[in-house]
Structure 1
Amino acid sequence: MWACSDCTMRLRRLAEMWAAPEGCLWEQLQVARHIAEVHPEEVPPPHPADCELCPSYARHDADDPARVWAEHRTRDLFMPPEVARLL
């Protein structure tokens, strides 16, 4: 994943937009989606013990063709947990 040029490009764009007035939500989502789709082996395991959202996502995992739960967990790779676990 960290050697992937697409990851590098998306992470750089996220870093550039981090302090932008309009925020960086779109860039966060793009990085998470890319990792979940292209690097599924890098998606962290669920963190239900300290995450309010994981239990809910787990209940709907079979109905999650867009991999929203995987994207949620992936955000832990590049965002602080208190921010990553908001979505």
Structure 2
Amino acid sequence: MPTPPPFMRTCPQCAELLAGLVDAFLQGLTAPLHAEHDGAVRVQILLARHLADVHPDDVPAPHSDGCPACARFERLDSEGVFWREHLARGLFLPDEIARLM
């Protein structure tokens, strides 16, 4: 996992969501999950949405290496909300996971 940038540790909501993400990952490793459990994915989406909405200037620039998700969002996401969420996931997840959504 990448170390989140300092602003994420000083923003109370970011810090709370990061702690929730760690808890969700740990719960997924240590206990059998109910079929409807969406813990880690749900928290990733909430954190990415928070970053896109509240910290848009801190969201990284679009990927320049032919990222298929960036190309799709550029075409389909006229307001850029989901694209910013996609890019924000790289602030707190490894690239191979962050680019899945």
Into which bin does the TM-score normalised by the smaller protein fall? 0.7 to 0.9
* SS of residue paired to 2:60: coil
Deviates more, 1:48-57 or 1:72-81: 48-57
Q: Provide runs of 4+ in structure 1 moved above 6 Å.
A: none
Unaligned regions of 5+ residues in structure 1, if any?
none
Cross-structure match for 1:80: 94
2:43 to 19, 24, 27: 27
Residue deviations 1:24-64 (CA, integer Å, cap 9, x gap):
10000011000110011111000041522111111224x23
Q: Which has the higher contact order (CA 8 A, sep 6+)?
A: 2
* Paired AA for residue 33 in structure 1: R
- RMSD, aligned CA: 1.6
* Residue number in structure 1 paired with 2:3: none
Q: Structure 2: 5+ residue runs without aligned partners?
A: 1-6
- Which residue matches 1:7? 14
TM-score by length of structure 1 reads 0.87
Identity %: 38
The structure that has the greater radius of gyration is 2
